[in-house]
Structures are given as C-alpha cells and as structure tokens.
Structure 1
Amino acid sequence: MSYQFIHIQTYGDSVRSVGQNENHVNSARQVFGEAMRLPEYSRHVDNPLPAHCVGGTHTVEELARRRRERLLSIREKVVSKTGKTYERRLRKDAQTLYTEIHSHPMKCSVLLENYAQNRHVINQWLALLLRDFENRMPSGIEWSAVLHRDEEYVHAHILAINADQPKLNAASLHCGKTAASRYRAAHDTSSAIPPLPKPELLLRPRKPRKPKLARKQQTRVRNQRKYEAAIFEWEQACTQVHQENQKRLRLWRAESSAHLREARKLRTHVPEMKAYDDAMRALQDHYHDAVGKPCGLLRDGPRKERLSTVEHATRKRQAEKLAKDIKNVKHMRRETAAEAQNIADQTKTFVKNLEAREARLLLREEEIQRREKDLTARVSAFDELEVAMEETLSAAERGEIHFSARGFQLSNPNITEKLKNFLNPDLRQTPARKIFEKFLKLIKRTVVGSTGHPPVSTDEIPAEDLDRPGL
C-alpha cells in the first residue's frame, strides 16, 4: 500500500452490524475497548501491544469516562402521542462518538526492524494528520489519539466527543453527514425510501388475576392451584403469540429489504447521497494536500484507475519524488527565513549602533556648544577686564585713586560704576576678577612704594575695603 487511507465514522451505545456481516458488530464501547487494546476487544490481533497515546485533550480512558458522565447527565424532552411532555435519557442509538482511522503504508514489521530510522517518517505523518485534524474540527471538542503498531500496517485512531453540543451530537463533526443534513434542511425534503408498513402483531392475552385470600385453608390451596394452572396456560399462550409475531417480523424484514433493494435500483440518484459523497471526496482531496502529498502518498489506490503493477510503481515513485521536492522546498523556505531573520537582526543591530553614535555625537555637539559659550563668556570677561584695567590705570595716573594701609578709595563715581563687576564681593569669583585684584595689588604696591609709606601686604585686598560703600 502506497496510498493514503482515512476513514471517519460515528457511533452510539447501541450495537449495530458492520456492513452485511451480522457477526461483526460495533458500538462506542467496542471502539473504546479496541483503541485501549482491552483483551475482549482485541481478539483480531495476534500479539496485542499497549496503545501509544500521541495527542489529544485526554487519554482514551479519560475520554471514555468523560463521555459516560456526560451521557448520565443529559436529559431530553419528549412529546408523547397524547401530547404529554416528559424527560428521558438520551437514546442508545444516538451518535455521540466521532472516530477517524488513519493508516500508513509502512508495515509494523518494517517499523520495528529499523525503528530508529523509520520512526521519523511515522512522526512526520502523525504530526501532519494531528495538525490537520485540529484545523478541521471546531473549537470545544474533547479528543484523544492513539497509535497501534501490532497489526499489519501502522495506523492511528482518533476518538472525539462534541463536548460543546448539549446532546454530544457527533454527526455534526462528520463532514458527509453534515453536508447531507444541510441539503435536507435547504430543500425541506428527504429522498429516503420508506420501508413496507409493519405487519399487525398479535396481542398478548390478559394475565390471570391472582385470587383473593380465602378464609379456609383448603379453599386457599385450591385457588392457588387453579391460579398456577392458569398462569401456565397464559405463559404458553404468550410464547405462541411471541413466536408468531417474530415470524411475521422476520417475513416483513425480508420483504422490506427486497423492496428497498428494488426501489434503490430503480432510483436514479439521491441528492443527499450526492452531497454526502461530494463532501467525502473533498475530505480526501484536502487530506491529500495536507497529509498525503507531503508524506509521498497517492490520492487513489491502483483499483481506482485500474493501473497495472508497473504503472502503479511509477506513480508511487512520482509521489515519493514529489514528497522529497516538497521537503526540499520547505527546507529552502526555512533557510530563507533564517537568512532573512539574520539580515533583520543585523539591520536592527546596525540601526541601534547608529542611534547610539548619533546620541554620542549629539552629546559631543552639546559639549562643544557649552564650551563655546563658556569661551565666549571668558573672552567677554577679559575684554571687560582690559577696559577696567585701562580705566584703573588712567585713574591712578590722574590721582583719582587714593591708597591707604587699609585699602583704597575712588573719587570718581563713573569709574566706580564701571568697576562694580570686579569690586562687588557678592558676585562669583572669576578668573578675570582674580587678575583684576592682583592688578590692584600691583598698583597699590607701586603707589605706596613711591610715596614712602610703609609697605603693605599684597596677598589680598581686605574684605572690609571691598565691602565699603562707594568702592
């Protein structure tokens, strides 16, 4: 087998036959038991192996318990023929379990012989089919997936319940049944062939009434014997009625089956079945694109197109080559994405470094502007110093500065106004002011020395002289 295989089905609690084989029956309980590899449901397997859980919201055991709990809590309202409304549990034949079977063309013996090499093929197939299942299913379902490796081919079972649906309706998860239901709802008609009317069944005879309790013991014994004899005759009559009814029902089933077969032969096509088949074919096409093609599996088997062995082998090689090409394309896409990510990271780093460099340049420019401003202020201060020194020197030559041992005094108020920036003690001590103070000390020492006054200290100008008004 080199083609894909997927089978979907719904189940209820009632037992039903599979196809035309009355000895092969299925139910939800049987499906859960086979998935869990319980001995009573795994007799078709020579050497059963434990099921391997490969995905889902629950394990198979938890999902089965969850389904039982939900079924026990569900109540549906039913209207009787008399119009009376009452509640009851969900019908046993209600479809409450949705299943999918996915099979891989690799045989279990081949997988186990070289497990280290072949497990990658199975893991890729499992990852694709599980992702496709999650994409196809609505939100809110609860499901479990198991892998079986003890039959001829490796296969996986997916079991799901529609947990968000009040009655756990599994038919809404089945794409074929959903398509048929939509068609019936849109056209408000059903093309189902009605069976033959059921035969009229015989009624059971009335059960004899139990005699009243008599006073005398003999009467009670006699009445009890009569009652037991009547019950025996009644049971015999009920058995005959039951046998006759079963005979009529068997005859009706045979005639009805023949009637349905003939009616189906005469019928041209069933619109619901066409919608069902179209939906199932669409599922196979979608599954081939999502799972089969990447895994190198064919869409159809050799019987579908009646291919010869050589043609089928050629088709198989083409599918394998296509799968390799798809794998190479995906690898190239990953490499391209990695390269694009690398370029993006480099660009991001370059932009980050460029922004940091711009920030450093901006700080450097601000520092240069600050220094230029400070330098301009210093030049302006020294210009003022030059003017002040010239004014002071001129005032000293004109004799407008009178020095004493305690300090000096200016007799010209104009000069005092011009020198206030250098003589005010409240202003900040600047280099220009320090130079001017030293210049004053030099003039004072020169003037005092030339007049013959005793020498005075030239280390600093007394603060009280600088603080006096008019200086």
Structure 2
Amino acid sequence: MSYQFVHMELYSRKGRDGRSVDFVLAEAARRPDACLHVQNPVPPAVVFGVDVDEVRHLHDERAATAKATLATGKQRAIRQDQNTLLTVVASHPAAMDSVASNPALADEVKEWEARTVAWLRDQYGVALVSVIRHVDESYPHLHAFVLPEAPDLRAGALHPGQEAKRRVVSAGAANGEDGKTLNRRADVAYREAMRDWQDSYWQAVGLPCGLTRLGPGRRRLTRDEWQAERTQVRAVRHAQDRAALIEAEADSLASQAKADAAIAHAERTEADRIRAAAVEQAAIAKRLHDAAEMRLRKARAALSRASDEGKRILGAAHREADRLRAFGGRLRALWDGLRRSAMEDRLRASVARDLARERTRADEAGRRVAEEARRRREAESRAEDAVASARAVGRERDAARRQLSALLPDLRSEKQLTLGRTRP
C-alpha cells in the first residue's frame, strides 16, 4: 500500500467489548497479557510528551475529580461508561524490514513521523499528552493519547464526527422530518466531518510524504488509474520539495544580499567618514600651508630687514674700519659678517623644512580621498550584484510555485468518497 492510514477511537473506564482505557494503555505499553497479537513485543519509544504510565496516571487523576452537571444543575461524578480518552493511530505503508535496510526509506518515515506529530499538536493543542512509536509490528505506526481539559473529561467533544452528529441531533428535526430522517442527516454530518479530518491529515502529512488519500480498492480504480494517481502524488511531492529548496535558496540569497547591502552601506558610511576626515585634514593642511607661506614671507621680510641691517652695519663697520684703520677693527667687522650669513642660512633651512612637511600632509590627504572613492565604488557594485541574484532566485521560486499549483489534485472531488477505515 502507498496510501495514508489514520484512525481515531474513544475509550471509557468501563470499556466495550473488553477494550477499556486500562486495556488500550496496557496494549500500548506492551504489557504481556494485553499484546498477544505481537510475536516479539518491544517497549514503545516516546516521540512526544509523557510515557504510557504517566498517561494512565493523568487520566485516572482527572477521572477521579471530574464532575458531570445534571439538568437540575447538580453535579455528580462522571459515569464509568463515559468516554474519557481519545486515541489516534497513524501508520506508514513502508514495511519494517524495508525501513531497516533502506536508509532513504528510513528518512522518509522520519519525515512522516515529524509531520504527523506536528499535525496532532495543531489539532489538539495541550490536550495531546503523549505520542509513542511501535516498531514491533509489520508497519511503523504511532499512538497518540488525547485527554480533554474540560472539568467533565468528555473526550467525545474532541471527536469531530461525534460532535458534528451531536450538533445536528441537538438542533432537532426540520419541518416534516421524522426521527429516522434526522438520524440519517446526523450520520451524513458525521461522515462529512470525518472526511474533513482525513483531508486535513492528507494535506499536512499524506501529500507531502507522497501518500494517496485513499487506496484503489475503495474507489474501484484500475491498476493503470491507481499507478497514474501515485505518479501524480509523487510529482506533486517532487514539486513541493523543489519549491521548498528554491525557497530556502532564495531566503539564503536574500539574507546574503541583505548582509552584502549592509556591508556595502557600512563601507560607504566608512568611506564617507574617511573622505570627510580627509577633506578636513586637507583643509588643515591648507591652513598649515598658508601659515607656512605666511611664515616664509615674514622670514623673507626678516631676511630683507636683516640684509639691510647687515649692509648698514657693514657700511658702519667699513667706516669704522677706515676710521680706525686698525687690524683689530677689520677683524671684528669680518666676524660680524660671518655671523649674519650663518643666521640667514639657519632661517632658510627652517622655512624649507616646514614647507616640505605641509606638502607631504596635503599629498597624503589627497591619496586617502582617492582610495576611499575606489572602495565605495566596489561596495556599490557588490550590492547591485546581490540584489540581481536575489531577483533571479525569486523568479525561479515563483515558477516552481506555479508548477506546484498546476499539479495539486482537486481535493473537493474526495468529498463524494466514503470515509476510509473510520466508522461512525
């Protein structure tokens, strides 16, 4: 088989046909006297929630304190034959020996199990207290145990078919409707609700796992029709997997594009900051250069004044030398001339050093401005490439989604089918 199997049952403490809450929990726990149909019993594995013994403890604790409200408004303990536990059994069509020898098939079973647990949690919320796995029978299967939260512990309220039937009966007969007609209409509501429940499981679990909604026997399909339907389901699953892969790649590329854009923005911001700093440094360098030029002009003026003063002093010295006409006077005049010449050389060297330093600062500021402009252009180019890649992946994802929509079967046709393996 390659079609889905999911089934629900209600149990009371008193039980029916020997199947009570105690018995079904003992069978799930693989108690020897309750699992005679299993050749080599293996303890179950807890997939979600608590183990079977804790389920029993929770159930008995709630049942001992649950109260039913009578029509008179009085409360009493709930009846022993009231359904207090709902169970759901889901089975995968892969044989256990095939699962053990085929890693790819084992991965498919793990996916089916994870999707089934997620669907159960979505269906029952906090009322789902446990999901266990059995691997000691022909096919891998799960048992889910659901305990109602209501004070009266009425598990039937969690059964979609029974609730649909109860609502029809509670509303009463329509005009000209007798009791039998009302009951038939309630049964129709029961079957319709259970079909919706089965459809919900197929949409969430069966279809993504490549399982058909019903087997070929219940619909009298030919082998070719059955094979065509299986092929279609596999194609839909392949399209879903491909769409999910493209979606993941698109998300990854989009995240990378965002990261690249953030990096580019940070680089542009840093480039702007460095450029602003370079501009400021260039302005400072210009101010220093202007100050150096001013100092140079002042130095030149000072040199000019010193030269004039030297000439004056030299003229005076010559005159004094002529006047004294003595060797000592001429020697002193020569010494003063030498001192003036050395002072002028030191002043020229100081001004030249200041000018060279300021020119170096101005050249360095210009180089940094050019380098940051180049880095900004590269960052903007990377951001544009990332955006283009994200758009291309988005177009491929949209194409995959359109392919998926074209392959999805019309589930509404299933509304005319009878419920597989679920009885009113």
| Structure 1 SS opposite 2:37 | coil
Distance (whole Å) between structure 2 residues aligned to residue 61 and residue 348 of structure 1: 54
Letter in 2 for 1:277: R
RMSD: 3.9
| Structure 1 SS opposite 2:208 | coil
Shift of 1:57: 2.4
1:52-91 equivalences under 5 Å are: 52-54=45-47, 56-72=48-64, 74-76=65-67, 85=74, 88-91=76-79
Which moves more between the two structures, 282-291 or 334-343?
Answer: 334-343
Distance (whole Å) between structure 1 residues aligned to residue 166 and residue 182 of structure 2: 20
The equivalent residue for 2:98 is: 110
Which moves more between the two structures, 343-352 or 300-309?
Answer: 343-352
Residue 97 of structure 1 pairs with residue 85 of structure 2: yes
Distance (whole Å) between structure 1 residues aligned to residue 141 and residue 216 of structure 2: 20
Distance (whole Å) between structure 2 residues aligned to residue 78 and residue 269 of structure 1: 26
Residue 189 of structure 1 pairs with residue 171 of structure 2: yes
Highest RCO, 1 vs 2 (Cα 8 Å, sep ≥ 6): 2
Letter in 2 for 1:171: G
1:169-318 equivalences under 5 Å are: 169-183=154-168, 189-190=171-172, 267=181, 270-318=184-232
Which of 135, 139, 142 is the equivalent residue of 1:149?
Answer: 135
Shift of 1:317: 3.3
Residue 6 of structure 1 pairs with residue 2 of structure 2: no
Residue 28 of structure 1 pairs with residue 21 of structure 2: yes
Residue 162 of structure 1 pairs with residue 148 of structure 2: yes
Shift of 1:158: 0.9
Quickly say closer, same or farther: Cα 1:346–1:329, change in 2 above 3 A.
Answer: same
What residue ranges of structure 1 are gaps of 5+ in the alignment? 17-23, 193-262, 400-448, 461-471
| Structure 1 SS opposite 2:93 | strand
The equivalent residue for 1:120 is: 107
Quickly say closer, same or farther: Cα 1:276–1:345, change in 2 above 3 A.
Answer: same
The answer as to whether partners of 1:191 and 1:272 remain within 8 angstroms in 2 is no
Which moves more between the two structures, 381-390 or 116-125?
Answer: 381-390
Letter in 1 for 2:85: L
| Structure 2 SS opposite 1:62 | helix
Quickly say closer, same or farther: Cα 1:75–1:102, change in 2 above 3 A.
Answer: closer
Quickly say closer, same or farther: Cα 1:395–1:88, change in 2 above 3 A.
Answer: farther
Q: CA offsets, 1:232-282, max 9 Å, x none?
A: xxxxxxxxxxxxxxxxxxxxxxxxxxxxxxx98x53764433333222211
Distance (whole Å) between structure 2 residues aligned to residue 325 and residue 99 of structure 1: 33
Shift of 1:88: 3.9
The answer as to whether partners of 1:32 and 1:60 remain within 8 angstroms in 2 is yes
Question: What is the number of equivalent residue pairs in this alignment?
Answer: 324
The equivalent residue for 2:379 is: none
| Structure 2 SS opposite 1:3 | coil
The answer as to whether partners of 2:120 and 2:128 remain within 8 angstroms in 1 is no
What residue ranges of structure 2 are gaps of 5+ in the alignment? 314-331, 344-424
Distance (whole Å) between structure 2 residues aligned to residue 281 and residue 80 of structure 1: 33
Shift of 1:156: 1.1
Q: CA offsets, 1:332-357, max 9 Å, x none?
A: 33333333333333333333333333
Letter in 1 for 2:270: A
- TM-score of the aligned structures, taking structure 2 as reference length: 0.64
| Structure 2 SS opposite 1:157 | strand
Quickly say closer, same or farther: Cα 1:92–1:363, change in 2 above 3 A.
Answer: farther
Q: CA offsets, 1:409-436, max 9 Å, x none?
A: xxxxxxxxxxxxxxxxxxxxxxxxxxxx
Letter in 2 for 1:327: D
The answer as to whether partners of 1:191 and 1:271 remain within 8 angstroms in 2 is no
Distance (whole Å) between structure 2 residues aligned to residue 168 and residue 388 of structure 1: 109
Distance (whole Å) between structure 1 residues aligned to residue 166 and residue 266 of structure 2: 60
Answer with 1 or 2: which has the greater Rg.
1
Distance (whole Å) between structure 1 residues aligned to residue 29 and residue 49 of structure 2: 16
The answer as to whether partners of 1:2 and 1:298 remain within 8 angstroms in 2 is yes
Letter in 1 for 2:155: A
The answer as to whether partners of 2:68 and 2:152 remain within 8 angstroms in 1 is no
| Structure 2 SS opposite 1:307 | coil
Residue 47 of structure 1 pairs with residue 40 of structure 2: yes
Quickly say closer, same or farther: Cα 1:273–1:162, change in 2 above 3 A.
Answer: same
Quickly say closer, same or farther: Cα 1:379–1:52, change in 2 above 3 A.
Answer: same
Distance (whole Å) between structure 1 residues aligned to residue 143 and residue 66 of structure 2: 30
Aligned-residue sequence identity (percent) comes to 25
Quickly say closer, same or farther: Cα 1:392–1:2, change in 2 above 3 A.
Answer: same
The answer as to whether partners of 2:85 and 2:145 remain within 8 angstroms in 1 is yes
Q: CA offsets, 1:100-146, max 9 Å, x none?
A: 1111111233334x1534311210111111112222233x3342111
Q: CA offsets, 1:281-307, max 9 Å, x none?
A: 112222212111111111122233211
1:311-350 equivalences under 5 Å are: 311-350=225-264
Quickly say closer, same or farther: Cα 1:173–1:376, change in 2 above 3 A.
Answer: farther
Distance (whole Å) between structure 2 residues aligned to residue 364 and residue 170 of structure 1: 77
Which of 30, 33, 44 is the equivalent residue of 1:37?
Answer: 30
Shift of 1:51: 1.3
Q: CA offsets, 1:362-396, max 9 Å, x none?
A: 22222222222333344445556666777898899
Distance (whole Å) between structure 1 residues aligned to residue 154 and residue 289 of structure 2: 88
Letter in 2 for 1:125: W
Shift of 1:181: 4.7
The equivalent residue for 2:284 is: 370
Shift of 1:80: 8.8
Shift of 1:170: 2.6
The answer as to whether partners of 2:68 and 2:78 remain within 8 angstroms in 1 is no
Quickly say closer, same or farther: Cα 1:183–1:366, change in 2 above 3 A.
Answer: farther
